[in-house]
Structure 1
């Protein structure tokens, strides 16, 4: 039994608070910068830590676009956020669905070279994105999938990590459950739907959060397959705001950055309980 010491408890809280402050301070600076004008942000050295009075104006310009008071043309971030949202949902749901089915087949079906298939999938984890991105782009281009949701999402759907995690979880499920389902006349898909999916819901929730954030933060792949501005995700939109004009309006850049952080933060907050429980169950 671990002895509780007040000094260690206070130290742990101090370290936790310091960690939160270190992580949150840049976010607070971005929010403060988004409430000032571009001239105030550029001229303030150091930047004021007090929020300004241009919050509504800046966020309206960042969301819906338009001409700024400094002559810059600001593209709207709302359509880009929609593209990022749809892409992230397709990637997250697609990864989970394909990984569930592939792990189910690897564990519960007997076929030749089953272990070879698994290790072939697992070895893809050792290939960096840069190695695979050239051939993948060539395939997407030949299939005329550039500037489309299919091009943005389908090449990123397969996940060796999720397949491995589901496989390891399925291996811990007692064989008696499969035998009981077979005796009751349940087929493979019925067993997957009625037995394995309910048991896997916390793992699915944890993977959904991770894969949603992964899909939302994609930059390199959309940079290649999105040559039309109408298919830019919000991460590319932020980069465009920084380098697209001769004069960078940092207040709008920071406002767009804060807006881009909101959907992943909301997903994490809404699914925090399931996310933590899924990670703990996975470790078991």
Structure 2
């Protein structure tokens, strides 16, 4: 009898020891399942758009229609060449590069001044910068439209780049990163008599490469996806950007039906540049979001 009791106790103890491990494994499996479900929900529309872009008309009425077609080369060639979509993508790329470069210069200088130098009422200035985030973008369109036309910049690259050069979000992210740099490095630079330009070029930028790359990707995607302002300020079709250029594809009606294959082909083309950048520079991008959360 005593042997039976001891054996039962050993079994109970063994079950108690295994329970936390099984619970942890079950919890991990549940998290992985949820992540896979979320990934499928995000990827599924992209897969559907890719499949539709390979068909003749792109009409999908059932799951059986989600089979790749044989018109991929023809659809993409027609979108790029016949509808001049390659020109639109070039305009978007040029706009995004100019916006990223300008935002980096202005935001780095602004964040450096707020963190490291004695600027009168700099905390109030920083609060005012953050306050601009509360203003909806369309609210600024009417005065901005008048200002751009008064300068004679209408229907030009300046019209779609200069209004985006100042960024409160970028200033905030860089300020948070600069505050995380050890003060000993800053004090050493001051004792060595390093000026503002040298301090920025030889101290801040080398120590902020990852964050600057991540911020650049965020700014590039933001500029690349601009639609409403270019639609308002650009009149010439040759100067339009890719997001507005999709409207021209939507305006193509063949036999009384919208050619969804062309629309999806254009949509997939606009997806390529930001997607490639986010995949290649995913590590600094995640680092930037981590700093923003702190």
Q: TM-score, normalised by structure 2?
A: 0.86
Query: Of the candidates 193, 196, 216, which is equivalent to residue 204 of structure 2?
Result: 196
CA distance in structure 1 between the partners assigned to 2:289 and 2:210 by the alignment:
8
Q: Give 1:10's aligned residue.
A: 29
Change (3 A) 1:281 1:115: closer
Residue of structure 2 equivalent to 1:230:
238
Match of 1:271 among 256, 281, 291: 281
Q: 1:260 aligns with which of 264, 270, 278?
A: 270
5+ long unaligned stretches in structure 1: 66-74
Following superposition, the deviation at residue 140 of structure 1 comes to 0.7
For residue 47 of structure 2, what is the aligned residue in structure 1?
28
Partner of 1:72: none
Q: Per the alignment, in what secondary structure is the counterpart of residue 5 of structure 1? A: helix
The structure with the greater share of residues assigned to helix is 2
Output aligned runs, 1:108-119, within 5 Å.
108-119=116-127
Whole-angstrom distance in 1 between the partners of 2:247 and 2:138 = 20
Distance (Å, rounded) in 2 between the aligned partners of 1:9 and 1:107: 42
**For 1:23, what is the secondary structure of its paired residue?**
helix
Give 1:186 deviation, angstroms: 1.5
CA positional deviation for 1:179: 2.2
- Distance in 2 between the 1:280 and 1:115 partners? 23
1:183 maps onto 2:196 in alignment: no
Higher Rg? 2
Conservation of the 8 A alpha-carbon contact between 2:52 and 2:264: yes
SS in 2 for 1:111: coil
| Misfit runs of 4+, over 4 Å | 244-247
Task: Count residues in correspondence.
Answer: 271
Residue 281 and residue 113 in structure 1: after superposition, are their counterparts in 2 closer, same or farther (change >3 A)?
closer
Which residue number in structure 1 is paired with residue 258 of structure 2? 248
Is 2:64 aligned against 1:45?
Answer: no
Q: Distance in 2 between matches of 1:283 and 1:249?
A: 43
* 1:183 Cα deviation after fit: 2.2
| Structure 2 counterparts to residues 84-163 of structure 1, below 5 A | 84-163=92-171
Structure 2 CA distance for aligned equivalents of residues 262 and 174 of structure 1: 39
Residue 192 of structure 1 and its aligned partner are, at CA, apart by 1.1
1:244 deviation in Å? 5.4
Partners in 2 of 1:243 and 1:60 — Cα distance? 17
- 1:203–1:282 CA contact under 8 A, matched in 2: no
Moved more, 223-232 or 113-122: 113-122
Residue 98 of structure 1: how far off its partner (Å): 0.7
Q: Distance in 2 between matches of 1:25 and 1:99?
A: 37
Q: Secondary structure at the match of 2:258?
A: coil
Give the TM-score taking structure 1 as reference length: 0.89
CA offset at residue 270 of structure 1? 0.9
Question: Unpaired segments of 5 or more residues in structure 2?
Answer: 1-19
Q: Report the Cα distance in structure 2 between the residues aligned to 1:92 and 1:232, rounded to whole angstroms.
A: 19
Q: Contact (CA 8 Å) 2:252, 2:259: kept in 1 or not? A: no
Distance 2:119 2:24 in 1: 56
Q: Displacement of 1:33 after TM fit?
A: 1.0
Q: Residue 282 of structure 1: CA displacement?
A: 4.2
